[in-house]
């Protein structure tokens, strides 16, 4: 009998849980996952879940203790994400939260976590500024860092004007801000700021407005499957100029939907997507080889989505901090343990993942540097490293 996607996802969650703990209802440490397994952001959320399973396969114990993992579907909805976080904190007494696939949901989850004094590892691109963000660290590369590579390429190519299109939400606000932070000092003008909803069926009117401005290049600020729409519309309208995007389009569903329409797009990416094109001896290339083995072991397939890498790294960072916190003798499930875990997270040093080598500092939300991003081009449906 052919298993449905829902059945397969449920089986995946059972697998991830069983790798951490037996049937025991109580464990020494509890890790809560809030993830978009359904809804518009599920094309990212489901690969994240497979990345978690790969990490679970590689780390069944932490400091000699089992860890209970509880996952809740946020349905790609910030309100549902906040409810899930509250449930995990108040009913399951989690020591740390990990999630989600989209920035709006992640921010909603974090609001609940911070209020309760529970540390959180962001798997979406986002950061809470100031003291209010003291309980979180973020795994994906920050937009200004990855988009610096894009802006440098634009400058070298003689591009002076760029038309922007993105989602009408916090994620694309972050993309545009990161782009402008890099293009403004180089004298590259952003001449449009067009937006669309993630569940829209067409963006042709926005693309026509962008083309009317006669920019030197286009920049798409979406992600995952909905991020394919502008590329399809640009191809339909015959756009022949360069197209850039962020690392959020490095996704299997994006490739499936955009197909040949996105050929030639230039984007930054985490090293995992071109790990086999990195030079021998690169520690990220070696880490990717381990990840691929664990991913296949946990999920039964080899079609790795780069977003699974961010999930894998988020658990590696959490596991490292949990190990150091347990070594202090603090008792899981207590405010003192969560505070110590928060302090451990923000002092993480040299954790080698598949997307970066992570080094966090108190007061800083991101722990990566320029070795965490490469520039790639889509050629015949495959990402190629730009030297």
For residue 24, pLDDT over 80 is answered with: no
Supply the DSSP symbol for 374: E
pLDDT digit string, tens, across residues 351-362: 999 999 999 999
Supply the DSSP symbol for 350: -
Instruction: Tell me the C-alpha distance between 285 and 198, whole Å.
Output: 34
User: Sign of dihedral through CA atoms 320, 84, 138, 11?
Assistant: positive
Instruction: Tell me the C-alpha distance between 267 and 265, whole Å.
Output: 7
Going by pLDDT thresholds of 50, 70 and 90, the confidence category of residue 23 is very low
The full set of domains in the chain, from first to last, is: 5-141+285-370 (3.40.50.2300), 143-269 (3.40.50.2300)
End-to-end CA distance of the chain: 47
Find all residues with CB under 8 Å of 49, minimum gap 6, and list them.
9, 12, 13, 16, 33, 35, 37, 71, 311
Going by pLDDT thresholds of 50, 70 and 90, the confidence category of residue 251 is confident
The two three-digit tokens of residue 330, written as one number: 């603090």
Supply the DSSP symbol for 105: H
Please state the rounded mean pLDDT for residues 8-33.
Answer: 54
For residue 313, pLDDT over 50 is answered with: yes
Going by pLDDT thresholds of 50, 70 and 90, the confidence category of residue 264 is very high
Instruction: Tell me the C-alpha distance between 367 and 372, whole Å.
Output: 10
Beta strands in 197-311 (DSSP E): 217-221, 243-245, 266-269
The pTM assigned to this predicted structure is 0.84
Please state the rounded mean pLDDT for residues 272-282.
Answer: 94
CA neighbours closer than 13 Å in the CB half-sphere of residue 69: 29
**What's phi and psi for 384, nearest 5 deg?**
-120, 135
The two three-digit tokens of residue 352, written as one number: 């080698």
How distant, in Å, are the alpha carbons of 123, 184, 187, 192 from that of 181? 23, 6, 11, 16
Supply the DSSP symbol for 279: P
Find all residues with CB under 8 Å of 184, minimum gap 6, and list them.
none
Pick from 88-92, 289-293, 302-306: least confident: 302-306
Going by pLDDT thresholds of 50, 70 and 90, the confidence category of residue 1 is very low
CB distance 35 to 102 below 8 Å: no
What's residue 4's pLDDT?
A: 39
Find all residues with CB under 8 Å of 226, minimum gap 6, and list them.
40, 167, 198, 199, 200
| Mean pLDDT of the chain, nearest integer | 92
Higher pLDDT, 250 or 72: 72
What's residue 127's pLDDT?
A: 84
CB distance 57 to 18 below 8 Å: no
CA neighbours closer than 13 Å in the CB half-sphere of residue 301: 9
For residue 14, pLDDT over 70 is answered with: no
DSSP 139-162: -SPPHHHHHHHHHHHHHHTT--EE
């Amino acid at each position: 009998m052919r298993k449905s996607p829902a059945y397969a996802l449920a089986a995946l969650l059972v697998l991830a849980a069983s790798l951490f703990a037996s049937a025991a209802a109580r464990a020494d440490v509890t890790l809560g996952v809030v993830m978009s397994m359904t809804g518009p952001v599920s094309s990212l959320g489901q690969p994240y879940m497979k990345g978690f399973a790969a990490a679970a396969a590689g780390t069944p114990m932490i400091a000699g203790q089992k860890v209970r993992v509880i996952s809740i579907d946020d349905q790609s909805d910030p309100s549902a994400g906040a409810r899930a976080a509250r449930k995990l904190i108040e009913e399951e007494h989690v020591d740390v939260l990990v999630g989600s696939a989209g920035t709006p949901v992640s921010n909603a989850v974090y609001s609940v976590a911070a209020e309760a004094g529970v540390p959180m590892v962001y798997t979406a691109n986002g950061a809470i500024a100031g003291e209010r963000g003291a309980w979180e660290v973020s795994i994906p590369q920050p937009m200004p860092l990855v988009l610096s590579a894009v802006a440098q390429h634009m400058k070298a190519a003689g591009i002076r004007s760029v038309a922007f299109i993105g989602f009408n939400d916090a994620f694309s606000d972050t993309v545009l801000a990161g782009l402008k932070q890099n293009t403004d000092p180089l004298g590259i003008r952003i001449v449009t700021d067009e937006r669309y909803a993630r569940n829209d069926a067409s963006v042709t009117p926005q693309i026509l407005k962008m083309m009317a401005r006669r920019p030197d290049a286009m920049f798409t600020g979406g992600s995952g499957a909905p991020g394919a729409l502008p590329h399809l519309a640009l191809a339909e309208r015959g756009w022949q100029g360069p197209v850039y995007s962020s690392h959020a389009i490095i996704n299997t569903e994006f490739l499936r939907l955009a197909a040949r329409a996105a050929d030639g797009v230039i984007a930054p990416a985490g090293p995992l997507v071109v790990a086999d094109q990195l030079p021998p001896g690169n520690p990220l290339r070696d880490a990717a080889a381990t990840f691929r083995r664990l991913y296949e072991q946990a999920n039964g397939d080899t079609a790795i989505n780069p977003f699974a890498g961010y999930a894998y790294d988020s658990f590696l960072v959490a596991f490292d901090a949990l190990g150091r916190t347990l070594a202090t003798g603090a008792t899981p499930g207590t405010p003192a343990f969560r505070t110590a875990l928060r302090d451990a997270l923000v002092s993480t040093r040299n954790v080698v993942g598949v997307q970066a080598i992570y080094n966090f500092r108190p007061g800083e939300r991101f722990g990566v540097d320029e070795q965490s991003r490469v520039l790639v081009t889509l050629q015949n449906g495959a990402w190629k490293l730009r030297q």
